[in-house]
């Protein structure tokens, strides 16, 4: 090892470059010097909102090759001024993590295991069940007073969903005659 190599050591670089604590240029290696953040090379930045609590922090979603590559706080937001909490900062893992399921599963009555099911078939089966259960639980009246409803079907959830989704859920289920439509706002 020659003197030139020795001089390349971080300590010498720090002292030589007037950066004794190694907080500036001396800390850079040639590898790190050529790194660029994913956010800089992203093909597009999509404006979004954090999906966790109701503060509503702004998010910038970075996309390359039709994949989300990073989620950062949006500095433009008057709500959050670019900040995210630990949950919001984990949004990339929430949306792209390996724990997410992408396959419909079905458990038959009394079965001990899941089976996979085609989405189209599942939708059709669910529609059939809604129609049948709705009829089974139908009540034209109760104690002689008109109710025009079904007590057979209930739904729970909505606080994590979009307004437009809640609107369609309420609209469809009410038209079906269901009244037991609820979400976390109750809980």
Partner 1 sequence: MAECHPVGFQWVMEAKARGATLIHVDPRFTRTSALADIHVPLRVGSDIAFIGGIINHVLQNEKYFREYLVTYTNAPTVLTEDYADTEDLDGVFSGLDPESRIYDFHTWQYEGTEVQAASGKRDKEYSDRVQGSSGVRQAGRGEAHGSGGAEVTAQITNDETLEHPRCVFQVLKRHYARYTPEVIEEICGVPQETFLRVCELLTSNSGRDRTSAFVYSVGWTQHTVGVQYIRSAAILQSLLGNIGRPGGGVLALRGHASIQGSTDIPTLFNLLPGYIPMPHAHSNEDLDAFITAEATRKGYWAEMRAYMVSLLKAWWGSAATPETDFCFDYLPRLTGSHSTYETVQSQLDGECKGYFLMGENPAVGSANAKMQRLGMANLDWLVVRDFSLTESATWWKDGPEIATGELHTEDIGTEVFFLPAAAHTEKDGSFTNTQRLLQWHHQAVEPAGDARSDLWFTYHLGRRIRHKLAGSIDERDFPILDLTWDYPTKGEIDEPEAESVLAEINGWGADGNPLTNYEQLNADGSTVCGCWIYCGVYTDGVNQAARRKPQVQQNWVATEWGWAWPANRRILYNRASADPEGNPWSERKALIWWDAEKAQWSGHDIPDYDKSKSPHYRPPDGAQGAEALSGLDPFIMQADGKAWLFVPAGLTDGPLPTHYEPQDSPVSNLLYTQQRNPVRQIQPHPNNRYQPSGEDPGTEVYPYVLTSYRLTEHHTAGGMSRWLPYLSELQPELFCEVSPELAAERNLEHLGWATVVTARGAIEARLLVTERMTPMTIQGRRTHHVGIPYHWGPNGYSTGDSFNDLSSISLDPNSHIQEVKALSCDIRPGRRPVGADRARLVHEYQQRAGITERTGTEV
Site residues for partner 1, 44-103, by CB under 8 A, read 44, 46-59, 61, 63, 66-68, 71, 75-81, 83-91, 93-95, 97, 99-103
Of 7, 10, 11, 129, which lies in the binding site for partner 1, with binding defined by CB under 8 A? 129
Question: Smallest gap, in angstroms, from Cβ of residue 8 to partner 1?
Answer: 35
Nearest to 80 by CA among 93, 71, 92: 71
Closer to partner 1 by Cβ: residue 1 or 119: 119
DSSP 17-69: TT-TTS-SGGG--HHHHT---HHHH-SEEEEEE-SSSTT--EEEEEEETTEEE
Closer to partner 1 by Cβ: residue 25 or 55: 55
Question: Smallest gap, in angstroms, from Cβ of residue 93 to partner 1?
Answer: 5
- Measured CA to CA, the distance from residue 144 to residue 112 in angstroms comes to 44
Pair 26, 32: CB distance under 8 Å: no
Please report whether residue 181 would count as binding partner 1 according to CB under 8 A: yes
Closer to partner 1 by Cβ: residue 13 or 166: 166
Nearest to 152 by CA among 177, 127, 184: 177
Q: Which residue has the tokens 């609820």?
A: 182
Number of residues that bind partner 1 (CB under 8 A): 122
Closer to partner 1 by Cβ: residue 17 or 130: 130
Site residues for partner 1, 137-166, by CB under 8 A, read 137-138, 140-166
Please report whether residue 171 would count as binding partner 1 according to CB under 8 A: yes
Question: Smallest gap, in angstroms, from Cβ of residue 43 to partner 1?
Answer: 11
Closer to partner 1 by Cβ: residue 35 or 101: 101
Question: Smallest gap, in angstroms, from Cβ of residue 151 to partner 1?
Answer: 5
- Measured CA to CA, the distance from residue 30 to residue 40 in angstroms comes to 19
Question: Smallest gap, in angstroms, from Cβ of residue 6 to partner 1?
Answer: 39
Q: Which two three-digit tokens encode residue 178? A: 């269901």
Nearest to 119 by CA among 141, 103, 101: 103
Q: Which residue has the tokens 């989620």?
A: 71
């Amino acid at each position: 090892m020659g003197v030139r190599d020795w001089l390349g050591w971080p300590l010498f670089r720090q002292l030589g470059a007037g950066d004794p604590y190694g907080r500036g240029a001396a800390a850079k290696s040639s590898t790190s010097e050529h790194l660029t953040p994913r956010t800089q090379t992203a093909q597009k930045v999509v404006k979004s909102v954090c999906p966790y609590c109701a503060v509503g922090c702004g998010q910038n979603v970075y996309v390359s090759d039709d994949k989300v590559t990073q989620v950062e706080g949006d500095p433009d937001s008057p709500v959050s001024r670019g900040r995210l909490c630990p949950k919001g900062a984990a949004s990339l893992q929430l949306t792209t993590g390996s724990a997410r399921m992408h396959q419909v599963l079905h458990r038959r009555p009394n079965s001990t295991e899941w089976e996979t099911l085609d989405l189209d078939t599942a939708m059709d089966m669910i529609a059939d069940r809604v129609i049948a259960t709705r009829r089974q639980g139908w009540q034209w009246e109760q104690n002689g007073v008109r109710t025009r409803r079904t007590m057979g079907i209930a739904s729970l959830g909505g606080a994590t969903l979009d307004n437009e989704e809640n609107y369609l859920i309420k609209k469809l289920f009410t038209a079906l005659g269901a009244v037991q439509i609820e979400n976390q706002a109750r809980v």
